[in-house]
């Protein structure tokens, strides 16, 4: 696998890019993730790589669970992480706070409270001795492009901002846990508001991944009297790496390339609404539709989907029609995009909807939800449906599956009209915002 495209240029030439003020960048998600960079991790990666290239005086930090504190990350450690960012090693760690919190609750029931408090204080003192203390400047930008619902991390970030009077530069992916708390975990719904309050505060710079997210932030800030220094949209990059070798690395992927299949790329969680596709397939089977394509779900299992996963694995009607894949490298995912009939994205709400853009970038039609930012991501070249209308999804899937000539015409229009957006463009525009902040 190739290195990250920015890795060869690091650390950059300070004569080419005037450094301005020092900046602090939180790279927790990037340093903790062990697979290919996707979603929020990809955003943190691109920003960190560009800052490291253009700002030699930048300081990087991450949250360390062992000592429940923010710790420094050296430029060398970050370079090494960027260089291996595309290599799959093992499954990513569980979401922040989930298993540690459960373990603490179990211990609380089994051990005396005083003993637990004493042991925890001893553990933290020992862990903190292993990590150097932060030595950070005051009154500088603090870039946070990640996500956390872990209360100690949120508290440490808030304390850092308040103590050093830092200026938050927050890249906001969405406010979904505030808008739709029923489609996220109880833990996230409970603690996400505190993260927003930490970074969306008076004088903060908030950059959003879509006009929809920008409107959501404005609607949250206005009634609270929060006066932002800047609020604007900065759209992500979309490209996937295509392999010079057309052979897939996984046998499951190779088996799909010779048959018809539809593709849904997303973590399998309640908000992503895989359930409507499951029900649409059952509806099509009940109609007697023959030669249905395979339904391919690419993504890790998330939360609030226990019943759905049970049905997908044990319902004899659907089991022959569904393929579950996860931890695919970009090259295999690119092959699936190029060989599928078309893609699906019935999500209930999105901050952007990156797989819709990736589908169009690969010249493939996407049948997507009409909620949140998905019409923005569709760029007038996708078809949008209400996310809960099972009959509409079944009808349009059957239509596009049968009308191959119409599908080829749509694909020709996509190839002609869709330009996409590179990650290098996103990171360059992010740096322009940072330079403007220095100048202002």
pLDDT digits (tens, 9 = 90+) for 282-339: 999 999 998 999 999 999 898 889 999 999 999 999 999 999 998 888 889 989 999 9
From the DSSP assignment, how many helices (H) and strands (E) are in the chain?
18, 13
Give Cβ neighbours of residue 187 (< 8 Å, ≥ 6 apart). 97, 98, 101, 149
d(CA 270, CA 408): 32
- CATH number for the domain harbouring residue 139: 3.40.50
pLDDT over threshold 70, residue 254 = yes
What predicted TM-score, i.e. pTM, was given to this entire model?
A: 0.84
404 and 432, same structural domain?
no
Rounded to 5°, the CA angle 5-7-10 comes to: 130
369 and 275, same structural domain?
yes
CB atoms inside a 10 Å sphere around CB 404? 11
The residue range of the domain holding 117 is 7-237+423-439
- CATH number for the domain harbouring residue 292: 3.40.50.2000
Contact 50, 30 (CB under 8 A): no
pLDDT for res 405? 97
305 and 374, same structural domain?
yes
Is 245 a member of any domain?
Answer: no
CA 123 to the chain's CA centroid = 32
Residue found by looking up tokens 């960048």 in the block: 25
228 and 322, same structural domain?
no
119 and 190, same structural domain?
yes
Partners of 24 in the β-ladder = 59, 142
Is 321 a member of any domain?
Answer: yes
In the three-class reduction of DSSP (H, G, I as helix; E, B as strand; rest coil), residue 204 is classed as coil
268 and 229, same structural domain?
no
Q: How far is CA 5 from CA 9, 78, 221, 340, 422, in A?
A: 8, 14, 37, 28, 12
Contact 160, 142 (CB under 8 A): yes
Is 244 a member of any domain?
Answer: no
pLDDT digits (tens, 9 = 90+) for 119-155: 666 565 666 667 777 889 999 999 999 999 999 999 9
pLDDT for res 52? 96
Domain tally, the chain: 2
Contact 240, 361 (CB under 8 A): yes
432 and 395, same structural domain?
no
């Amino acid at each position: 696998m190739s290195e990250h495209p920015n890795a060869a240029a690091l650390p950059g030439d300070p004569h080419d890019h005037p450094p301005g003020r020092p900046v602090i960048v939180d790279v927790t998600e990037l340093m903790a993730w062990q697979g290919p960079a996707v979603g929020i991790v990809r955003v943190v990666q691109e920003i960190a790589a560009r800052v490291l290239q253009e700002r030699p005086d930048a300081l990087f930090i991450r949250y360390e669970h062992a000592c429940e504190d923010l710790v420094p990350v050296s430029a060398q450690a970050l370079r090494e992480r960027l260089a291996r960012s595309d290599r799959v090693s093992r499954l990513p760690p569980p979401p922040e706070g989930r298993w540690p919190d459960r373990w603490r609750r179990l211990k609380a029931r089994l051990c005396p409270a005083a003993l637990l408090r004493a042991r925890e204080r001893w553990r933290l003192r020992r862990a903190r001795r292993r990590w150097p203390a932060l030595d950070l400047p005051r009154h500088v930008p603090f870039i946070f492009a990640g996500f956390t619902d872990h209360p100690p991390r949120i508290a440490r970030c808030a304390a850092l901002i308040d103590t050093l009077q830092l200026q938050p530069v927050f890249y906001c992916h969405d406010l979904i846990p505030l808008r739709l708390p029923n489609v996220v975990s109880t833990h996230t719904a409970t603690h996400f508001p505190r993260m927003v309050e930490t970074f969306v505060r008076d004088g903060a710079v908030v950059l959003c991944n879509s006009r929809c997210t920008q409107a959501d932030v404005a609607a949250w800030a206005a009634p609270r009297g929060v006066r932002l220094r800047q609020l604007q949209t900065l759209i992500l990059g979309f490209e996937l790496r295509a392999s010079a070798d057309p052979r897939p690395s996984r046998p499951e992927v190779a088996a799909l390339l010779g048959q018809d299949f539809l593709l849904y790329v997303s973590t399998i969680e309640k908000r992503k609404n895989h359930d409507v596709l499951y029900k649409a397939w059952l509806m099509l089977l009940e109609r007697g539709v023959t030669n249905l394509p395979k339904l391919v779900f690419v993504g890790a299992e998330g939360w609030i989907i226990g019943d759905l996963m049970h049905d997908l694995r044990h319902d004899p009607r659907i089991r022959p029609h569904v393929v579950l894949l996860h931890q695919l490298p970009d090259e295999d995912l690119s092959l699936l995009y190029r060989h599928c009939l078309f893609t699906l994205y019935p999500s209930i709400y999105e901050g952007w909807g990156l797989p819709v853009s990736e589908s169009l970038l690969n010249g493939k039609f996407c049948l997507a939800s009409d909620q949140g930012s998905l019409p923005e991501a569709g760029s007038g070249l996708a078809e949008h449906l209400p996310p809960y209308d099972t009959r509409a999804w079944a009808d349009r899937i059957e239509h596009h599956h049968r009308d191959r000539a119409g599908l080829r015409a749509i694909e020709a229009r996509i190839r002609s009209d869709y330009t996409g957006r590179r990650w290098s463009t996103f990171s360059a525009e992010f740096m322009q915002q940072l330079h403007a902040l220095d100048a202002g």
